[in-house]
Structure 1
Amino acid sequence: MPEQLSFDLPAKPVLGRDDFFVSPENAMAVAMIDAADRWPNGKLILSGPSGAGKTHLTHVWAATNDARIVSAADLPSLEIPALAQHPIAVEDVPEISADADAQQALFHLHNLILSQGHQLLMTGQGAPNHWSLSLPDLQSRIDGTTHIALLAPDDTLLAAVLAKLFADRQITPKPDVIPFLLSRMDRSFRAAEDIVSRLDKAALSRHHTLSRRLASELLGGSGAV
C-alpha cells in the first residue's frame, strides 16, 4: 500500500506564561523573568542549549513588558535610536562574534537603551564569557551583565517538554509514548524536538496513530534517537 502523502507543516508554538513548565532546573530563570523590574542595571542575559526555553521565556518577558524581540544579526539594518525607546530582547548574541557591524550596533543599543531607563534582555547558547565577541567594549559589558542559565532537563522537565512539543503540533500521543521515549532518547532538548518532528512525519505518512509501537519502529530498535 503506498504511503500517504504528507505535508511538513510548521508547528505553532504556544508561548504563554502558563504554558511554561517550571522545574528546579529553570526556576531561577523564571523568577528573574518575572522580576524584570529588579534586574541589576536593567539588563539580563539568559543562556541555555537549543530548545531549553530561551525563546519561550523571551516572549513571556516581551509580552509582559511591551518589549520588542530582535535577532542580533539583524541589528545593522535596524534603527538603533528607535529601538532604544522601548525594552528590547536581543536573541542569539553569540552568532555575531564575527560580525563587527552587528557588534557595534549592539554596543550602541546597549548604551542607549540603558541610558533611557529601559530594560535589555540578551540570549545565547553557552556562558557569556565564552561568546568571544571581537569588540572589547561590548564583551566587557556582556561580562558585567547578570547571567541566568537554563540547565539541562531532568526526566520531569523533559517529559513536560515532550508533551508541549506534541501539543504545539496538535498531537495527543498514547499515554505510554512519552515514558517510552524518556527511557531511550538522548537527554537533551534538541533530541526532544527531533524525535517529536520525526514521529509527527511518520504518523502522517503512514496514517498511523502516534503509539509506542510507531515510536519503537522509528527508533529502529537501537534505543537512541
Structure 2
Amino acid sequence: MAQIPLDLAPIAATGFDSFIITDTNRIAVTALRAWPDWPAPIMLLLGPSGTGKTHLGKAWKDLSHGLLADAADEMEETALFAQMNQALNGEVSGMLLTSDKPITEWGTQIPDLRSRLNSTPVMVMDDYDDDVLEPILRKLFEDRGRIITKDLVDYILRYQDREVGSLRALVRTLDEAALAENADLTKYFAAHFLAGRLERDLFSGPID
C-alpha cells in the first residue's frame, strides 16, 4: 500500500546567510546588506524571475524593518506612490522595490511616480547558468532532507524547466512521490515518474 506523504520537510531558511551568492548576484547582495548606508532611501532590485529577489527582499525587510514592494511593477500606482513618499519623507527606515522588468517597461501613468522611479538606484541580478543552478537545486532538495546524486541534478537541469520557482515545485513533487512509493529519489525514479506524468497528462485531456 502506498504511503500518504506527510510534509515534514524542514522550513527553508530565508535570510541572507541561507542565500547562495554567485557572480550573478554578489553586487546586489552586497548592496542590500550595506543598508542603512544606501545612496538613497529607496532602491530597486531588478532581475529575471527565479533569481531570488523575493528571498532577498524578505531578508532585507527582516534586517531593516522597512517597506518591501515585491513585484512593484504590479502594484496599484497610488499605493506605490504613497509608500515611496513615506520612505522619501523618512517615515520608514527605507524601501526596497523588486521587479523583473526595467522601469521603462512598467507603463507608469502618474507623472510624479514615473519621475521618482526613474531616479531610483537599481541593483541588477543576472540569470543563472548551470554552475549557479546546481547548488540551488541541491539546496532545494536539502531543505526537504534529501541529498541527491550528480546524475539526477544533470537530468533535471537538462530536461526540466530551469526557472527556480518551477524547480522548487518539481523538487516538492518528486519528494512527495518518492515518499508515497517508499522509494529512493534517484535519476531512474525521477525519469520514470516524470515520463508517467507526461503520459497521463497527454491522455487525460479532451479528445478533439
TM-score normalised over the length of structure 1: 0.76
1:39-75 CA distances to partner (integer Å, 9 max, x unpaired)?
222211112233311122112222322x1xxxxxxxx
CA distance in 1, matches of 2:50, 2:146: 19
Counterpart of 2:145 in structure 1 is 170
Counterpart residue type for residue 52 of structure 2: G
Per the TM alignment, residue 196 of structure 1 is displaced from its structure 2 partner at its CA by: 1.1
For residues 73-222 of structure 1, the aligned pairs below 5 Å read: 87-96=66-75, 99=76, 103-116=77-90, 118-220=93-195
- Structure 1 residue 4 and structure 2 residue 6: aligned? no
- Unaligned 5+ runs, structure 2: 199-208
CA contact (8 A) 1:152 1:188 kept: no
Per the TM alignment, residue 172 of structure 1 is displaced from its structure 2 partner at its CA by: 2.6
Counterpart residue type for residue 162 of structure 2: R
CA distance in 1, matches of 2:176, 2:49: 21
- Structure 1 residue 23 and structure 2 residue 22: aligned? yes
Counterpart residue type for residue 149 of structure 1: V
CA contact (8 A) 1:129 1:142 kept: no
CA distance in 2, matches of 1:53, 1:178: 19
CA contact (8 A) 1:94 1:131 kept: yes
Counterpart of 1:57 in structure 2 is 56
1:186-221 CA distances to partner (integer Å, 9 max, x unpaired)?
332233223212212221222212111112113329
Counterpart residue type for residue 124 of structure 2: A
Instruction: Assess, with a 3 A threshold, how the Cα gap between structure 1 residues 11 and 136 changes in structure 2: closer, same or farther.
Output: farther
CA contact (8 A) 1:174 1:211 kept: yes
1:108-128 CA distances to partner (integer Å, 9 max, x unpaired)?
221222222731111122222
Identity %: 31
Instruction: Assess, with a 3 A threshold, how the Cα gap between structure 1 residues 133 and 206 changes in structure 2: closer, same or farther.
Output: farther
Number of residues paired by the alignment? 196
Counterpart residue type for residue 46 of structure 2: S
CA distance in 1, matches of 2:151, 2:88: 50
Counterpart of 1:34 in structure 2 is 33
Per the TM alignment, residue 25 of structure 1 is displaced from its structure 2 partner at its CA by: 0.9
1:128-168 CA distances to partner (integer Å, 9 max, x unpaired)?
22122332322221121111232211112101211221122
Per the TM alignment, residue 9 of structure 1 is displaced from its structure 2 partner at its CA by: 7.0
Counterpart of 1:47 in structure 2 is 46
- Unaligned 5+ runs, structure 1: 68-86
Counterpart residue type for residue 42 of structure 1: P
CA RMSD of aligned residues (A): 2.4
Per the TM alignment, residue 8 of structure 1 is displaced from its structure 2 partner at its CA by: 6.0
Per the TM alignment, residue 182 of structure 1 is displaced from its structure 2 partner at its CA by: 2.4
TM-score normalised over the length of structure 2: 0.81
Q: Which piece of structure 1 moves more, 2-11 or 107-116?
A: 2-11
